[in-house]
Amino acid sequence: MAKIRSHKDVIIIGAGMAGLTAALYAGRMNLSVLVLENGIIGGQIANATGIENYPGFLEVSGSDLMSTVQKQAEKFGAEIDEFDTIQKVSLKGSSKIVETEEHMYDTQAVIIASGMNRRRLPLPEERRYAGKGVHYCELCDGHRYEGKTISVVGGGNAAVDAANFLTRYADRLYLIHRSQLRTDEVSQAALRANPKVKILLETEVTALHGEGWLSSVDLIHKDTGKTENLAVDGVFVNIGVEPNTALFEGELSLEEGRIPAGEDCRTEIPGVFAAGDVRKKEIRQLTTAAADGTTAALLAGQYLEKLGRNRFHKYLI
């Protein structure tokens, strides 16, 4: 069956904070905007149970925050499609092509906001406890474990930083890693000096247990072969991330899986912008994702204006 062909002024790939913010701003410029999302609308943050570091909210759930941003984008005419999977993109020409299972879209401006995913804990019962004791965002969910026993799984800088952060809440904290720590000495020393912390190296989590909510984990100590069951209230997983950039291999240069783009979000291809966690940058937070989405949309508008396709310059000021 032939695919439906249509044109959009701007196509945004990804419906997380960066993508939806870009859609909001592009929609306000009266551009025709399509957001394509292969996963859930809202991205990773949609699963956060409590966010306390987003300006304007004392506390808000990830799902409520992202639902509000989605409604704002749709209010200004953005179309959001989360069911038509992208199969291929062609970005190098002046007219870019985004091909999905059912449609063939052409556009002059593409904003890539496909984000990244933290690697999931590779256990069959992980899904059962996701958000119910197994978490992937210490900034979002750590405060839920005030006075509790927390474990952090991972051994890189991000895991040790997460563990140091979580000691402000935990009564007891275990850092569990399958080999040796791969982190800077300062962060590692701070963790080792904390009396709340016990570091378990050469150790793997092999199973999760609990009635409705996580209550314990099974461990194997690889250096001795011994096993144990460890009572914990929450597990924070930090075993690496995977940028969602496979779709763009051969179209854009990638560095460590991410898209090189400056603070202006411009990539090497005119008319193609990268925003949010998929962009190679040092700081990745909800606020910086929103900033990227804003920047990418406004500069996409300027790009289209130069092509004679945007008559709404007043919105760029």
184 as an active site residue: the answer is no
Are 235 and 133 in contact by the 8 Å Cβ rule? The answer is yes
137 as an active site residue: the answer is yes
Which residues 6+ apart lie within 8 Å of 20 measured at CB?
Answer: 35, 41, 42, 66, 69, 70, 72, 73, 293
DSSP secondary structure letters along 239-269: S-EEES-GGGBTTB--BTTBB---TT-B-SS
- Catalytic pick from 81, 84, 137, 223? 137
**Using CA atoms, how far apart are residues 236 and 142, in angstroms rounded to an integer?**
8
- Strands 272-274 vs 109-112: parallel, antiparallel or unpaired: parallel
- Catalytic pick from 64, 106, 141, 171? 141
2 DSSP assignment = P
Are 166 and 173 in contact by the 8 Å Cβ rule? The answer is yes
**Using CA atoms, how far apart are residues 149 and 114, in angstroms rounded to an integer?**
34
User: Residue 190, SS3?
Assistant: helix
User: Which residues are marked as active site?
Assistant: 137, 140-141
